[in-house]
């Protein structure tokens, strides 16, 4: 199994099982040695992606703007304790 950064194999397995229970992904097992499984988005999973990706992009853009505002404010403000 190739590794994914930021998630353990157990966490990934648990997440995939949960997504499968919710009907967002489909699991397909292949009778091979070594065993192989693949996961696919269901129609509901695809619809969720279409709905949530714009929201994620909006949040990332908003966070980037906030970080830029913070950096410009903090870098241009001098502080003198009294």
Residue for token pair 């930021």: 6
Q: Is the pLDDT of residue 40 over 90?
A: yes
Cα 64 off chain centre by: 17
Domain membership of residue 46 as a residue range: 42-76
Q: How many domains does the chain have?
A: 2
CA distance 76 to 69: 11
Give the per-residue pLDDT at 16: 96
In a domain, 82, yes or no: no
In a domain, 81, yes or no: no
What pTM, to 2 d.p., does this model score?
A: 0.66
Query: In this structure, are residues 23 and 42 in contact, taking their beta carbons and an 8 Å threshold?
Result: yes
Mean pLDDT of all residues in 59-82: 72
Residues 46 and 29 grouped into a single domain: no
Q: Is the pLDDT of residue 81 over 70?
A: no
Portion of the chain with pLDDT greater than 90, in percent: 60
Please report which confidence band the pLDDT of residue 63 belongs to, taking 50, 70 and 90 as the band edges: confident
Q: With b meaning 16 or more CB within 10 Å and e meaning fewer, what string describes 26-55? A: eeeeeeeeeeeeeeeeeeebeeeeeeeeee
């Amino acid at each position: 199994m190739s590794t994914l950064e930021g998630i353990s194999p157990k966490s990934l397995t648990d997440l995939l099982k949960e997504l499968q229970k919710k009907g967002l992904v489909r699991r397909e097992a292949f009778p091979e040695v070594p065993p192989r499984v693949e996961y696919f988005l269901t129609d509901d999973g695809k619809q969720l992606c279409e709905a949530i990706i714009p929201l994620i992009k909006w949040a990332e853009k908003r966070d980037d703007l906030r970080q830029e505002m913070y950096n410009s404010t903090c870098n241009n403000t001098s502080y003198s304790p009294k």
